[in-house]
Amino acid sequence: MAETLTKLAYQTFQQGKSYFGLAHKTLSTQLLNVLAPDAKREIEPLSTELLLQLQQRLNDLLERDWLDAEQGVYPASLLFDNPWEDFFRYYPQVWLDMPKIWQRVSEKRYQDFSPTVRLSGYPAYYVQNFHHQTDGYLSDQSANLYDLQVEILFNGTADAMRRRVLSPLKRGLESFAVAPHQLRVLDVACGTGRMLRQIRGMLPNASLYGIDLSPAYLRKANQLLSELPGELPQLIQANAEELPYLDNYFHGVVSVFLFHELPPEVRQTVIEQCFRVLQPGGVFVICDSIQLSDSPEMAPAMRNFATMFHEPYYRHYTTDDLGDRLEEAGFSAVQSETHFMSKYWIARKAAQAETTVNS
């Protein structure tokens, strides 16, 4: 009975977030058509059949999320973890920010930043207003709004998609005969720390690390992660092309929603860096957008995403074979799977390849 009630509560919780996202997008689209018609993009209508497929994929994602919690992969409390205080505090700012976004869209200003934002020291591909975000990833306002904007984009399923990383990560870490507090896990491009928060819920005693290029997003991550019990993850501002860690240091490495925002040659460099810092026998899990090769029926939705948002490397990403890139870097036993609008790669570093650091 208790499990039935918990599942019903989870379904109601997710349904509420989904309706919130749909209502926001419907109203904002109507306002956009009235107030900023020049900002309107050519969006491909989705067929009824495709919409039904999307709904089924969403239902499958939520069922998998519930089953993993029920089977003890992670605690059920993670299913209800949501930054409500931030959402209520910053939701009005999402609306206030929209006229700026619409103006940038209409004028195709993709490198538009506030005068107070420091732009030096970053790779050129990073200094952009990805998905028309005000100040890109380089201001505190952007960091404050990001999680709410992503939840709206994915109709409340962003965390559920992130949690698909947890099961393969946990399985991969089981091969190490070390105490829980000796496990070291790195999140590459950790952003505001939502993935690290999920990992902490599953691995309360592990040593967690995160790197990101944005000081503002790292400040937000520190704020949100400091609310959790236990050791605060070690966060560093760094470029994933040059990870500031020793060879063979981590037992697990994850990266969420990063690779579609990297130029092709940078994707390979980042994968090679993740291979370098991972211990032999360790696991690397990538979560990113679905691709054309395994989700051809979702091609209209992918085209709409590229049309609606400024994602300059997304079209190439949808046809890029990350499995080949992982194997080229030295990973083995590469597997992939899809859940809703995301794809996951699970790769291992061969246990006999090199000598591990002392645990």
The residues, any chain, with a CB within 8 Å of residue 249's CB and separated by 6 or more, are 184, 277, 278, 279, 357
As a whole number of angstroms, the distance between CA 144 and CA 141 comes to: 5
pLDDT by residue (tens digit) across 41-83?
667 888 999 999 999 999 999 999 999 999 999 999 999 998 8
Nearest Cα to Cα of residue 190 among 137, 107, 255:
255
Burial of 128 (0-12, 13-18, 19+ CB in 10 A): buried
pLDDT band at 5 (very low <50, low <70, confident <90, very high): low
Q: Which residue has the tokens 């290029």?
A: 213
Per-residue confidence (pLDDT) for residue 286, from 0 to 100:
98
Average pLDDT, the chain: 91
Q: pTM of the entire structure?
A: 0.93
Cα–Cα distance for residue pair 300/269, rounded to 1 Å: 30
User: What is the length of the chain?
Assistant: 359
CA distances in angstroms from 249 to 6, 237, 256, 356, listed in the order given: 39, 18, 20, 8
In whole angstroms, what is the distance from residue 276 CA to residue 282 CA?
11
- The tens digit of pLDDT for each residue in 283-333 reads 999 999 999 999 999 999 999 888 888 899 999 999 999 999 999 999 999
Which amino acid, one-letter code, is at 251?
Answer: H
| Contact call for residues 65 and 163 (beta carbons, < 8 A) | yes
pLDDT band at 2 (very low <50, low <70, confident <90, very high): low
Task: For tokens 């009235």, name the residue.
Answer: 34
262-285 tens-digit pLDDT:
999 999 999 999 999 999 999 999
pLDDT for residue 101 is more than 90: no
- HSE toward the beta carbon, residue 326, CA cutoff 13 A: 22
Beta bridge partners of 283: 252, 348
C-alpha R_g of the chain: 20
pLDDT at 4: 67
Instruction: Note the pLDDT of residue 262.
Output: 98
Pick the closest to residue 187 from 73, 289, 284, 331 (CA basis). Answer: 284
pLDDT at residue 215 tops 90: yes
Q: How many separate helices (H) and strands (E) can be counted in the chain?
A: 12, 7
Report whether pLDDT(20) > 90: no
**pLDDT at residue 36 in the model:** 57
What pLDDT is stored for residue 32 in this prediction?
Answer: 65
Instruction: Return the pLDDT at 358.
Output: 44
Question: Which residues share a beta bridge with 347?
Answer: 284
> Does the structure show a pLDDT above 60 at 9?
yes
pLDDT for 354 equals 43
pLDDT of 352 above 80: no
In what order do the strands lie in the sheet containing 332-339? Answer: 234-237, 207-212, 184-188, 250-256, 278-289, 342-348, 332-339
pLDDT tens per residue across span 106-130: 888 999 999 999 999 999 999 999 9
Phi, psi values for residue 278, rounded to 5°:
-90, 135
All structural domains of the chain:
2-158 (no CATH), 163-348 (3.40.50.150)
